[in-house]
Amino acid sequence: MNTMAQEHIHSAGYWGERTDWLIVYAVTRDSSTLERANFQAIERDLAGTRYTIERSGHWAVGWVDYLIIDPTDTEAVEIAERAQSRLEDYSILDESLWSEMELEAYSQNVELAVKWWAKRQHETITDDALNRIMGAVAERAREITEDAWPDDAEIFAAALEVRRKLGHPLHA
């Protein structure tokens, strides 16, 4: 594990008070759900130890959050080493957490896609109908990942299904 001072020696200066603290894990604005899930899992495991999160601005990635530990806290060091060892063997620290985060990201994608589709229909579709369409799209999903995005054909098919079930138009 690098210290904060070592991490910033070539690319940027570090003026914080924890130059000797060890970096356990880092995420950026563009980190995947897996990376964010691993970050949260390590942070959860470090509860009760001397750790903190420090954010650095970066021109390319916007920001970097560093999960850092006090090198004199032996429990924190052991937890960090165990997490890094586990990551070498298998890239997921908490499959349930990652799955929840993937589902949330996918749900947000579906919501955005359905709302954009509805807007392009030039009609005001009721909130109830929108929610039903989002549910029908999610039920038909072939994959649920943070990058999965339903296309217009999937949304249209779900909207037709909802319209048949409701027995009336989708708009107000």
Q: Please report, for the chain, the start and end positions of each structural domain, with discontinuous segments joined by +.
A: 4-93, 98-166
CA dihedral 88, 91, 94, 98 (to 10 degrees): 160
User: Could you give the CA distance from residue 14 to residue 23 in angstroms, rounded to a whole number?
Assistant: 13
- The three-state secondary structure class of 67 is strand
* 16 vs 165, more confident: 165
User: Could you give the CA distance from residue 172 to residue 124 in angstroms, rounded to a whole number?
Assistant: 6
- Decide: 132 and 163 in contact? Cβ < 8 Å: no
42-89 pLDDT, tens digit each: 999 999 999 999 988 877 778 889 999 999 999 999 999 999 999 999
Q: How confident is the model at residue 13 (pLDDT cuts 50, 70, 90)?
A: low
User: Could you give the CA distance from residue 172 to residue 164 in angstroms, rounded to a whole number?
Assistant: 16
